[in-house]
Structure 1
Amino acid sequence: MEGPGLLELDHRTDNGQLELPGLAFSDGDNLFATLDVLEQEISRVQLSEEEVELLRRFRKTSDQNRRMIMHILGR
């Protein structure tokens, strides 16, 4: 069998750390400041209740209505 299987992981690069995009850690970093940055980033991308409702309705509508909505939005 060539290469690692689907469930075989390359443990050479796994140091037990979770890598988060946009956040870099060093030994001298302030953990609380880093957590504040992470919380701000999550808040920035989290959908509002109105956005969730719009997405729910968009997903439930017909393909024709979706095309009409996209046309109205300029796409």
Structure 2
Amino acid sequence: MQHSQPIQHWEPEEPEYDGQLELPGIALDKSDDLLLSLDELEEELERAQLTAEEMELLRRFRGTTAENRRMILQILGR
């Protein structure tokens, strides 16, 4: 049996932590910029949110047969 060198424990360098999480695509230079970016993000999320009617249509579409889904997509021109 060969004697092996003990493996030294390696710790990666940790980035400096100033208490603020970084979100990709959002500049943290100015707090006003961050607030504007968050407002814009909130507007986009609200715009993408389905209405109750859209959710019901999607539920019904998913619950129908494959043939009916094909016909619906054909009617819609897709």
Q: TM-score, normalised by structure 2?
A: 0.63
Gaps of 5+ in 1: 1-10
Report how many residues are paired: 62
How far off its partner does 1:43 sit? Answer: 0.9
Q: Secondary structure at the match of 1:39?
A: helix
Q: Deviations over 1:11-55 (max 9, x none)?
A: 978x773535xx422221413322211110101111111111110
Whether 1:24 aligns to 2:8 is no
Higher relative contact order (CA 8 A, sep 6+): 1
**Where in structure 1 do 4 or more consecutive aligned residues deviate above 4 Å?**
none
Q: How does 1:1-75 map to 2 (within 5 A)?
A: 17=21, 19=23, 23-30=25-32, 31-75=34-78
In structure 1, give the amino acid aligned to 2:28.
S
- Deviations for 1:46-68, whole angstroms, at most 9, x for unmatched residues? 11111111100000000000000
Distance 1:39 1:68, change over 3 A: same
Which entry has the higher C-alpha Rg, 1 or 2? 2
CA distance in 2, matches of 1:67, 1:12: 53
